[in-house]
Structure 1
Amino acid sequence: MRLVIARCSVDYAGRLSAHLAPATRLLLVKADGSVLVHSDGGSYKPLNWMSPPAKLTITPGGVDAPTDGAAPVETWTVQNLKTEDRLVVTITEILHDSAHELGVDPGLVKDGVEAHLQALLAEHITTLGEGYQLVRREYMTAIGPVDILAKDAEGATVAIEIKRRGEIDGVEQLTRYLELLNRDPLIAPVRGVFAAQEIKPQARVLATDRGIRCLTLDYDALRGIDDPTARLF
């Protein structure tokens, strides 16, 4: 991972356009090809980013100077390899630049509720639909395990990512899994299902845009505590 603290402006062009005026920011370049732009606030969410697969090109100087009048020292152009989306970072001053080899991450240890949801959904796999069959829980990929791998009624492969609270990060995680799984001719094509007790609207929009189905899980119903047939309303 490369970490750069720099004064920069940022422009995003593609399905949407966005501009960040010149300011001092943290730039993260990850080994998976993603580039993230952070400020000193806003919790863990970047101000803007480019998801993999992407190509980063760094050129000296820049065509357009930022609005504060400072001359660019270098320009980063991050081009998504699947779409026309492009992130352009115009840097006028670099305050820190370092690179670190993080190695292979062991992955997130799921909390109790998330682990229970996985076990319950695997046991009641037809919650996803009639004819679904479980292939395997914790199906390993090069970047971590997919929560559940299943087959639908037509025999197509489906990868299910399970969260207690479904947010954009979870959709990004499932997207990376799907990109890897669809390279395997033995199981491709693989569709995705993003399942959670609660799915944030932004995550649902992103999932739908990427062809990923969203499923809201009822924890009590999966446990057999809540029987819908016994409800008055």
Structure 2
Amino acid sequence: MRVVIARCSVDYMGRLTAHLPLATRLLMVKADGSVLVHSDGGSYKPLNWMAPPCAMAEVEPTDDERAEGVRQCWQVQHAKSDDRLRILLHEVLHDSSHDLGIDPGLVKDGVEAQLQALLAEHIHTLGEGYTLVRREYQTPIGPVDIVAKDPTGATVAVEIKRRGDIDGVEQLTRYLELLNRDPHLAPVSGVFAAQQIKPQARTLATDRGIRCVTLDYDELRGIDDATTRLF
């Protein structure tokens, strides 16, 4: 991983355009080719980024850019679309590279891992006609909990949480954006499944066309059959 702290401006061009004016930011170039632009705030979410497959090249600034104080220019081009980033570096404060090795992946806590296993076993919980494709479907930005097929044969990505909040919806949104770039999978819809889903998360998911499913852990384990309750 390459880590750069620099005074820079960033322009994104593609399905829309976006501009980040000159400021000090953290730039990360990962081994998978992804490039992320972070500020000193906003939690984990980058201000802008380019997900793989993409290629980054350091090109010469234009004469006008040099006159404005640009020292370096990074150009990041997505391999399957016209999306691109142009990062203009005015001053580099730090530049280092680190080999992080192979990551063992996220180790989920017991209940969340069991929810995933139980839902995979009882995939019909999502609806009649659903079939399991794979658990822990690997992507360049992490594993999707479950990939399934709906009754029409369309692909469905499922993100599972114990408590569903906005961060989980954002995570699933990133997976969907990446999966829908694959013509063999698209169109891919999303299901956000959790034991409890916060109202804000449900609102955001609905706005993005993601279906919410509340999971009953005991019922999935066969301990509690909701159909036999008196109340």
TM over 0.5: yes
Instruction: Verify the 8 A CA contact 1:151 1:157 in the aligned structure 2.
Output: yes
Match of 2:226 in 1: 227
Distance in 2 separating the partners of 1:51 and 1:92? 24
- Which deviates more from structure 2 when the two are superposed, residues 154-163 or residues 70-79? 154-163
Q: CA deviation at 1:204?
A: 6.2
Q: CA deviation at 1:80?
A: 1.9
Q: Deviations over 1:130-171 (max 9, x none)?
A: 222345544667886553354544666655443443232333
Match of 1:131 in 2: 129
Instruction: Verify the 8 A CA contact 1:72 1:91 in the aligned structure 2.
Output: yes
| Alignment CA distance shift 1:200-1:82 (3 Å) | farther
Question: Structure 2-normalised TM-score?
Answer: 0.74
Instruction: Verify the 8 A CA contact 1:161 1:174 in the aligned structure 2.
Output: no
Instruction: Verify the 8 A CA contact 1:146 1:177 in the aligned structure 2.
Output: no
Match of 1:196 in 2: 193
| Alignment CA distance shift 1:105-1:16 (3 Å) | same
Q: How many residues align?
A: 218
Q: State the AA in 1 paired with 2:174.
A: E
Distance in 2 separating the partners of 1:62 and 1:226? 68
Structure 2 residues without counterparts, runs of 5 or longer: none
Q: CA deviation at 1:123?
A: 3.0
- Which deviates more from structure 2 when the two are superposed, residues 30-39 or residues 162-171? 162-171
| Alignment CA distance shift 1:58-1:219 (3 Å) | same
Q: Give identity over the alignment, percent.
A: 55
| Alignment CA distance shift 1:42-1:138 (3 Å) | closer
Distance in 2 separating the partners of 1:155 and 1:226? 29
- Which deviates more from structure 2 when the two are superposed, residues 110-119 or residues 138-147? 138-147
Instruction: Verify the 8 A CA contact 1:160 1:195 in the aligned structure 2.
Output: yes
Q: CA deviation at 1:39?
A: 1.3
Instruction: Verify the 8 A CA contact 2:52 2:140 in the aligned structure 1.
Output: no
Match of 1:211 in 2: none
Match of 2:39 in 1: 39
Distance in 1 separating the partners of 2:174 and 2:160? 13
Structure 1 residues without counterparts, runs of 5 or longer: 183-187, 209-213
Match of 2:24 in 1: 24
Match of 1:53 in 2: 53
| Alignment CA distance shift 1:78-1:113 (3 Å) | same
| Alignment CA distance shift 1:97-1:141 (3 Å) | closer
- Which deviates more from structure 2 when the two are superposed, residues 103-112 or residues 138-147? 138-147
Q: CA deviation at 1:7?
A: 0.7
Match of 1:215 among 206, 211, 217: 211
| Alignment CA distance shift 1:116-1:61 (3 Å) | same
Instruction: Verify the 8 A CA contact 1:149 1:159 in the aligned structure 2.
Output: yes
Distance in 2 separating the partners of 1:65 and 1:202? 40
Q: CA deviation at 1:97?
A: 0.9
Q: CA deviation at 1:19?
A: 1.4
The reply on whether 1:87 has 2:99 as its aligned counterpart is no
Question: Structure 1-normalised TM-score?
Answer: 0.73
SS at match of 1:114: helix
